[in-house]
Amino acid sequence: MKLQTPFLIFSTCGVAVAALADTPGDLANPSFHLFVKPDGADGNNGRTEDTAFASLAGARDAIRKIKSMGGLPKGGIAVEVAGGKYTLQDTLQFNEADSGTAESPIIYGAVGDGPVELLGGRILKASEMSPVIDKAMLKRLDPSSVSKVLCASVKKLGLSHAGPFPMKFDDSGGIFELFWNGKRLPLSRWPNEGWVAMKKAVVNGDAKTPGTFEYRDERPSRWMDNSNIWLKGQWRVGWEEPAIKVSKIDTAAHTITFAAGIQQGIGNKYTRPDGNGKEQWCALNLPEEIDRPGEWAIDFATDMLYVWPPDEKGELTVSQLETPMIAVNGAAHLKFIGLTLDRSLGDGIVMQKSESNLVAGCIIRNLAKTGVIIDGYRSGVRSCDMHDLGAGCIEISGGDHKKLVSSENFVINNYLHDYAKLKAMYAAAVDVGFGGAPNAANHKVAVGIRVANNLIHDGPRDAVLVSGQDNVFELNEIYRCGYGSDDLGSFYSWLDWTMRGIIIRHNYIHDTIGGVNPDDGSSGMQVYGNVFAGPRTGVWIASGPDHTITNNIFVKSEGPVFGVDDRGESRGYAKNPKLIKGVTEINPDKQPWSGRFPEMVTLLVNHPELPQRTKFTGNVVVIQSGDPFVLKMNTKNKANPALFDGSGNFVTSSDPGFVDVANGNLELKPDSEVFTKIPGFKAIPFNKIGIHQDKYRSKLPDDSVTRRPKNNPMFQKETEKHFGT
C-alpha cells in the first residue's frame, strides 16, 4: 500500500488529525510492513495488500510468530491499517510478548483514503425493529410518539448489557447506548434539558435508610404503571450526582420514596432537614418520556427496546463491548497512530505497566467510559481528539512517589471537549493520579508528568484533576467548564499535603467556573504566568500550605480574584488520618524528600492545618471594583505573617496594555505599564498557549470553535465571587 503524507481524518468538530507522516519512528520508517484491510483474512500472511489481515489482532499474532522465529527486524514493524470499519467483539490485547524495542518499535497506524474506525458495537438493521402494537405500552407512551416509536425484543436482537440498572449508580448504569450515524442518541429523560427542583426533603435517610422527598410537578403521575424508575440528582451537594431507584410514588402527598439509601441521605446538607428546595433532579430511561426524535429507553420489565428514530435513513449502532477496546499490559515501545475508536461501552485504550508507548493522532469518541488510561513510564498521548465520552478523556499516572522517580509520562497537544456525558463528577479532561474520585483508594502515584498545549472545553466539572509530585501543567487553554457542579476547578486537587513541585504555568483559563482550586488542604503549587479572564475564575487556597501565586494576570469585572481560608483549623486537619498517612509513608525526614522539599521535615509539627507560606505576589489584577483578594481567616490567623504575603501586586481598573482585550488577546504589549509597575514581571507567552500543528495534527480547530471570549472580560457582570471550592 502506498504511503501518503499526510492523510487527514476530520473529526466532527472540524479538527484534522494526521494519520501518518514520513517522519522517523512512524510508519514510513520501519523496513518491515504488514497490512490490514476490512476485506482481508486473518489466515493470510499480511505481507502485501492482496494478502492483508482482516484485523489488528491478526497482525499482532503474526508479529508474535516473527519474534519467536528470530526477533524483530531492524527498524521495527509497521502495521498499515487501511480505512474502513473494524468491529471488536473482544478487547484487542497486548502483553509483554507484543513489545517492540527502542530500536525496533511496533507501530499500528492508519493509511489510505478513509478513517480507520474500531467499533465496539453492532449495527442494527431496520428490519429488526417494528412499530409498537402492545396496547399497554401504547397507553404509556407520550401521544406525540405513539406513531413514531419502533421497538424490538432485546433478547431476539441478541444484545447484552440491557439492564436493569443497579439500585444506585453515577455513570451509565451499565446499559448499552445507541448511536445514529455515529452520534449518541439521548436516553429518555424528564425534563429533556436541565433539571427540576425538589420541593423539600421529607425523610433525609442515610446509607441504610431510603430518603423521601416532596416533588413540585404533576409529571410523576404519568409513571404509575412503571415499576422501574430511576431518578438522577444532586440530592445532597453539588458535587455528587447519583441515580437511585424509586420504591413508591404517592400522587396524593406528592412524594417519592427511594428503594435505596445513599451516604448521608438527601436534602441539602447545609439546610437540613428540609433541604433548600433547589436540589436538582431528573428521571431516566422511561418509555413514557420518549417525546422527541432520537430518544430511546429499555423497558426492564419486558426487555423491550423502544426508539424514536431521528429520521427515516440512518445507521443505528448499539454499543456492546464493555471491556477496553485496546488493552496493553506490560508491553513496551508500541505506537497507535491515526486510529478512530468509536461507539463502545467501556474505555478506549488502557495501558498498565506501560513503557515508552504512544497514542498519537487518534480520534476517540462516543465511549461510555474514559478515552485513554496510562500507568507506567515514558508513555503518553499526543495530538489526539477526544469528545462525547461518558467519563473523562485521559487518566495518567506513574513514577515512584517515595523515591521521587519521574515517570516522564505526557499529555500533549490534545483537543479534549464535551466529555463526562454520563459520569459528570470527577471525570476530567485530564486526570493526573487523582483516580476519578476524591478518596485515597482510587488515587495513583503520579510523578513527573507533563500536561501541555491542550485545548479543553465544555466539561460539567473539572478540566484537570491534579495530584502527585513534580508535575507540570503548562500552555493549556481551558474554557466553558464547571457549569454542572459545585466545589471544582479548572485545576482541582483534594486533601493532600504531599503534593509538591506542582507547576501550573502559562495557561489561559477563561469563561469558566473555577480556576486553580487546591481543595481541603492540598498543597505545594506554584501558579506562575497564567491568564485568568472572565467571571467566576481565579485562585482559591483552601487552607493548604506552600502555595505561590505570582506573575499571573487576572481580568475580571470585580474582585476578588484570589482567596485563602483557614478551614483546616476548624475541621481538624491536623488530626486527619488521610493527610497524616500521606506524609508519614514518604519518610519526609529522609532523602530524597528532605533534600528536595525541606519544609516537609517539620510539616506535621508546624501547624500543617493552616495555609503556611501562602504567597500572592507580583500579579496583575484588572478589576473595576472590589478587593483583589479576600482572607477568610480568623483575626489571629490574619495577623500571622507566616501564613500570607499579598505584597507587590498591581491593581488597576483600566487596560494595562493588552494587545486586544476586546477580542480576548490578553498578551501584554512590550510597552505595557505592567513592566514598570512590577519590576521583573515576565511576559507571558500568550500566543504559544493551546494546541498547535505537528506531525500528528495538520490542522487546527476551525472558526466554529470559540477559542476567545466574546465579551470584554473586564466588563462581564460578576454574578458570583465564589469561584469553585
Cβ-based neighbours of 312, under 8 Å, separated by 6 or more: none
Q: Nearest-CA neighbor of 19 among 117, 99, 119?
A: 117
Residues 446, 467: contact at Cβ < 8 Å? yes
In terms of Cα–Cα distance, which of 524, 521, 530, 503 is closest to 565? Answer: 521
- Whether the pLDDT of residue 720 is over 90: the answer is no
pLDDT in tens, 681-690: 999 999 999 9
Determine whether 135 is exposed, middle or buried from the number of CB atoms within 10 Å of its CB (0-12, 13-18, 19+).
exposed
Reported as a single tens digit per residue, the pLDDT across 554-600 is 999 999 999 999 999 999 999 999 999 999 999 999 999 999 999 99
Model confidence band, residue 664 (pLDDT cutoffs 50, 70, 90):
confident
132-146 average pLDDT score: 96
What's the pLDDT score for residue 713?
74
Nearest by Cα to 124 from 160, 157, 87: 157
Q: How confident is the model at residue 171 (pLDDT cuts 50, 70, 90)?
A: very high
pLDDT digits (tens, 9 = 90+) for 437-495: 777 677 899 999 999 999 999 999 999 999 999 999 999 999 999 988 888 889 999 99
Q: Distances from the Cα of 35 to the Cαs of 56, 93, 365, 465, in angstroms?
A: 9, 18, 25, 39
Please report the pLDDT score of residue 700 as a whole number: 87
pLDDT band at 12 (very low <50, low <70, confident <90, very high): very low
**What domains lie within the chain, and their CATH numbers?**
1-114 (no CATH), 123-188+288-317 (no CATH), 190-284 (2.40.30), 345-435+444-475+691-700 (no CATH), 487-684 (no CATH)
Rounded to whole angstroms, the Cα distance separating 58 from 35 reads 10
Q: Which of 588, 615, 408, 570 is nearest to 497 (CA)?
A: 588
Q: Identify the three-state secondary structure at position 281.
A: strand
More confident residue, 220 or 489: 220
pLDDT of residue 19: 36
Condensed to tens digits (0 to 9), the pLDDT of residues 616-644 reads 999 999 999 999 999 999 999 999 999 99
8 A C-beta contact, residue 467 and residue 553: no
For cell 433532579, the residue is 281
Q: Judge residue 272's burial from the number of C-beta atoms within 10 Å of its C-beta, 0-12 exposed, 13-18 middle, 19 or more buried.
A: middle
φ/ψ of 64, rounded to 5, equals -60, -40
Residues 6+ apart with CB under 8 A from 704: 13, 14
Q: What percent of the chain has pLDDT over 70?
A: 94
Residue 244 CA to residue 211 CA, distance in Å, equals: 10
Structure confidence by residue, pLDDT tens digits, 332-353: 999 999 999 999 999 999 999 9
The reported pLDDT for the residue numbered 312 is 79
Q: Report the distance separating Cα 676 and Cα 657, nearest Å.
A: 12
| Short-list 557, 561, 532, CA closest to 686 | 532
Comparing 115-119, 431-435, 484-488, 611-615, the range with the smallest average pLDDT is 484-488
Query: Identity (one letter) of the amino acid at 6?
Result: P
- pLDDT value, residue 710: 57
Q: What pLDDT sits at residue 707? A: 55
660 compared with 196, residue with greater pLDDT: 196
